[in-house]
Structure 1
Amino acid sequence: MGIASINTRGIPVRGSQLKLRYAEIARAFEASTTHVVNFQEVLTYYHLRRLAAGLPSFRAAYRPSLAGPAGGVVTFSRLPVESTRYRRLPAPRSTERSLRWRGFLKGALVTEVAGVSVVNVHLLANTDGTWSASNRFHPIHRAQLTALAQLVAGLPQPCVVTGDFNIPRHKPLVQEFLATTQLTDVFGGECPPTFQQAYLPAGMQSQCIDFILTTGLTTESAEVVFEEESPSLGYLSDHLGLQARLSRPASKDR
């Protein structure tokens, strides 16, 4: 199975050339050998239609909501989709109403594809840029990762979890999540930065905050996509995309 993941919003809303950027992203995946693509921040049905228009060989899986796909997460698959379900991630109580509301909108989409449980997730963005235990986002992220770990534990194996975690790979919350779920990063110990440096404030360094994590599957290859600027559009998103080729381990003769 070829699987990819990218947070598509990128770029400030004004002047983002969303239609053209989505067409470019879709064109690249349509021309590829990838079987499943997990998109995050597909916020409205307009966004969804723009992607679908460029991906005729794929079928979109999502949970409908009033404005668009629930949680902004959509899975496009060339392989038959066996089932789809969505789980909203918790938004713990906070003194800040905006955090409660933004957390309420986050979730995980589970799509069963060719006997593989594919999870597409987007956690709350940490706009402070610090991830200490005293930071206001820490309890929300902990609760969301705990809920995600519980979801993964109940899924049929093998399983792939991809998406925008908004927490750097080396931080304790991610390390605890990996230890609990026994998921393996397809990049191993070489997780690349996944946020475009050009969109960070001066002095901040890009970190690995997007993942393709697996259990019960073997990684054949893993790479970053959409790393370079488009000649006419610039960067297609503020996030880089990730792509991997996965296979089932060969069974041993008894």
Structure 2
Amino acid sequence: MGQLTVASLNTRGMPVFGSRLAERYQAIGQFFEASDVDVVNFQEVLTYYHLRHLRMHLPSFRYAVQQPSAVGPAGGLVTMSRRRIDEKIYQRFPLPAARMTAALPRLSRFKAPLKGILATHLAEPDLWIVNTHLLANFDGDWSAKSRYYELHRQQLAALASILDSVGGRLILSGDFNIARDSSLFEGFAASSQLADAFVDCPPTFHQEYLHPGKSSHCIDFLLFSAETIKSENARLIFTDKVPMAGGPEYASDHLGLTVTLTVS
């Protein structure tokens, strides 16, 4: 038996410009350095400039795993760990068929092929940590009639395939960009047979960053193999603004997730 504390956070912050990246990443680093977290799955670490700032403020997380690409970590995915990581797998989501993206905004069509899955293997305890980020749904509609539905279903199928290939004990987290009460998530949860660390999943996106009239949903998840892993003390992090040199601000547009897990 052993314990492992895992966290997940989409680090982007809003807006794209003027997001006070250096200050936010310093606040994120200070939080995790002072915490008991062993492994963090980060999303939207978009460039090597982002990665450099993140690593600068997380010196005790000696293992920083990512798949290099031309401008930064592939898929914006980085897993940082205080425990030894001995293997890595990265896979992009399949290229969507033209019919899946024809009705999507231009930005969504551009981003869809860049998303992916990063799986890292911990030496002790022996398990896989899987990090992912699905395409954002700017409509807030996850029904079967949504213009994002088929593409999200394809991405979830690719994610399920990676989970099957690594097998054994695993922890999966990331920004799914699909609501917990959607048929998409319900179907994935049922087929993967992973347990959700949060019995009641609260909204994981700060309402202040949404367009007027839009509601925040639970779109970030921390899931695990229920047969060999038990969870306790699941909690949200970065719920409030954090102190910064230029004045308090949210560390990201997303809230983070963390949970302590007992691995048998």
1:108 to 109, 113, 117: 117
- Give the aligned partner of residue 232 of structure 2: 220
Percent identity for Structure 1 against Structure 2? 48
Task: Report how far residue 173 of structure 1 moved.
Answer: 0.5
Q: Does 1:211 align with 2:215?
A: no
Instruction: Output the CA distance in 1 between the equivalents of 2:191 and 2:88.
Output: 24
Q: Distance in 2 between matches of 1:204 and 1:108?
A: 28
The DSSP-based 3-state class of the residue aligned with 1:21 is helix
**Partners of 2:49 and 2:107 in 1: CA distance:** 25
Q: 1:191, 1:208 within 8 Å by CA — same for their partners in 2?
A: yes
Residues 1:49 and 2:52 are matched in the alignment: yes
Cα pair 1:84 1:111 within 8 Å, conserved: yes
Pick the aligned partner of 1:199 from 198, 209, 221.
Answer: 209
**Counterpart of 1:28 in 2: which secondary structure?**
helix
**Cα separation, 2, equivalents of 1:194 and 1:111:** 24
- The DSSP-based 3-state class of the residue aligned with 1:25 is helix
Q: C-alpha distance in 1, partners of 2:110/2:216? A: 27
1:167 alignment counterpart: 178
Instruction: Confirm whether residue 69 of structure 1 aligns to residue 73 of structure 2.
Output: yes
d(CA) in 2 for partners of 1:246 and 1:199?
Answer: 31
TM-score (norm 1): 0.94
SS in 2 for 1:224: strand
Helix, strand or coil at the partner of 1:221: strand
Residue number among 220, 230, 233 corresponding to 2:248 in the alignment: 233
**Which residue is 2:168 aligned to?**
157
Structure 1: unaligned runs, 5 residues or longer: 250-254
**1:252 aligned partner:** none
Q: Deviations over 1:183-215 (max 9, x none)?
A: 110012x01110001111222221100000000
1:80 to 78, 84, 94: 84
**Aligned to 2:72, what secondary structure does the other structure show?**
coil
CA distance in 2, matches of 1:174, 1:39: 21
The Cα of 1:14 is off from its aligned counterpart by: 1.7
1:22 aligns with one of 21, 25, 34: 25
Q: Does 1:34 align with 2:25?
A: no
More displaced stretch, 119-128 vs 197-206: 197-206
Give the letter for the 2:170 counterpart. Answer: C
Matches within 5 A, 1:6-21: 6-21=9-24
Aligned-pair CA distance for 1:98: 4.3
Secondary structure, aligned partner of 1:13: coil
Q: Give the aligned residue type for 2:93.
A: L
The aligned length equals: 248
Amino acid at match of 1:61: V
CA distance in 1 between counterparts of 2:45 and 2:25 reads: 10
Contact 1:160 1:212 in 2 (8 A): yes
CA RMSD of aligned residues (A): 1.2
Runs of 4+ in 1 over 6 A off after TM superposition: none
- 2: distance between equivalents of 1:47 and 1:220? 32
Amino acid at match of 2:117: A
Which residue does 1:244 correspond to in 2? 259
Give the Cα separation in 1 of the matches to 2:75 and 2:7.
18
Q: Is the 8 A contact 2:194 2:224 kept in 1?
A: yes
- Asked which structure has the greater RCO (Cα within 8 Å, sep 6+), the reply is 2
| TM-score of the pair, normalised by structure 2 | 0.91
Q: Within 2, Cα distance between the matches of 1:100 and 1:192?
A: 29
Contact 1:91–1:140 (8 Å) recurs in 2? no
The answer for unaligned runs of 5 or more in structure 2 is none
The letter of the residue matching 2:212 is: A
Shift of 1:156: 3.1
